[in-house]
Amino acid sequence: DMKLGGLGPDYEAIKEKKQKLKLQKEYSKQINDYNMKNIIVVQRLPAKPQVSSESRQKALEYAKKIPRPKTFTTRQSEQEVKQGKVLPQAPNGTSLPQIPSLESLWSRHKKEKEVVAAFKALHIL
């Protein structure tokens, strides 16, 4: 009674597995039925107690009296706004350098223009 291996499916092993699964399902069905018949009705949790409107009003009044936390946003003082010394804010929150006045920029432009003209006269550029 020696069976040598083959390339086809093993029908005997498949039948055994099928029978085993059938027995497992049957057993689980029996256990489920037993549990459904003998289940003890679990008492549900009692409903939440109703909060009276008086206590809610008291809580709201108390909440109004609690001081709010201070925020740390820096606000520009009125003097800086009047003097024009307000530094513009970049999108990431850092302050940008103060922009020089138009006259100082114009005078700097003229000086640099003269320097460039001098270099051109000396044929350095």
User: Which class for 33: exposed (0-12), middle (13-18), buried (19 or more C-beta within 10 A)?
Assistant: exposed
Per-residue pLDDT tens for 58-75? Answer: 989 998 998 888 777 655
Mark the ranges of the chain whose per-residue pLDDT is less than 70: 1-3, 5, 40-46, 49-51, 73-98, 124-125
Give pLDDT, residue 23: 97
- The pTM for the full model equals 0.29
Task: Tell me, rounded to whole angstroms, the distance of Cα 66 from its chain centroid.
Answer: 29
Structural domain boundaries, residue 20: 10-45
Entry field: residues in the chain: 125
Residue 76 located in a structural domain = no
3-state class (DSSP) for residue 95: strand
Cα-Cα end-to-end distance for the chain: 106
Residue 19 located in a structural domain = yes
User: Which class for 92: exposed (0-12), middle (13-18), buried (19 or more C-beta within 10 A)?
Assistant: exposed
Total domains in the fold of the chain:
1
Give pLDDT, residue 68: 81
